[in-house]
Amino acid sequence: MQMLRVAACALMVCSAVAQHDHHNHGAPSPAATPPPSTSEGGEAGHAGHAAHAGHDAHAGHAAHAGHDAHAGHSMQMFFVSSTTATFLFEKWVTNDRGMYALAIILTGGFCALAPLLRYQVTASKGRFPLALRTVLTFVYFNVTYAAMLLAMTFNTGVWWAVMVGTTIGFGVTEYVQELSEAQTLTEEEEATAKKLGTEPHAA
């Protein structure tokens, strides 16, 4: 009886060992991933280097183009003496002395309007309706800022045209203002003299 028990235990152990070996044999062992070959690694490295170089070249080209664009649109900050000048608009360019002289004369006359318009705006208060004074103010500011932009071309002739034109306009405005004040004073004296019944004083 004891012998049968020993034999049964031995059979159970052998069966368990056999099942364990069969399980290990059926499961495939993990295979190590083979390293990339030298040729494949070289091609991948070359492709990455080419992409990096292309990116650097593109970035450098974009930066260079941006620098050129910035340099092309930079403002001139020094005076030049040239008969080739651009007047406010891209197509208003003088290419010869005759056109340049005509543009200088027109610039001076245009800038002379600024003081005259300013006088009209201030003197028309109470005499002209608000709508007309508003339009005069709009025109005055447009002329003033256009004169400023002309002066900022840093062209010597244009600069002096702006300065001389504005000064002439100021002188004419002051002269007209003095005449207007003298006429108003004379009219007031005449009105006062009529009321008093005496002759007005000679100016």
Among the ranges given (70-74, 114-118, 178-182), the one the predictor scored with the smallest mean pLDDT: 70-74
pLDDT at residue 24 is higher than 70: no
Percent share of the chain, pLDDT over 90: 30
Res. 33 pLDDT band, cuts 50 70 90: very low
Mean pLDDT of the chain: 73
Stretch 195-199: mean pLDDT, rounded?
69
**What pLDDT does residue 95 have?**
87
With 0-12 CB in 10 A as exposed, 13-18 as middle and 19+ as buried, what is 68? exposed
Are 166 and 130 in contact, with CB atoms under 8 Å apart? no
Rg (CA), the chain: 48
Are 166 and 147 in contact, with CB atoms under 8 Å apart? yes
Sign of CA dihedral 61, 67, 73, 79: negative
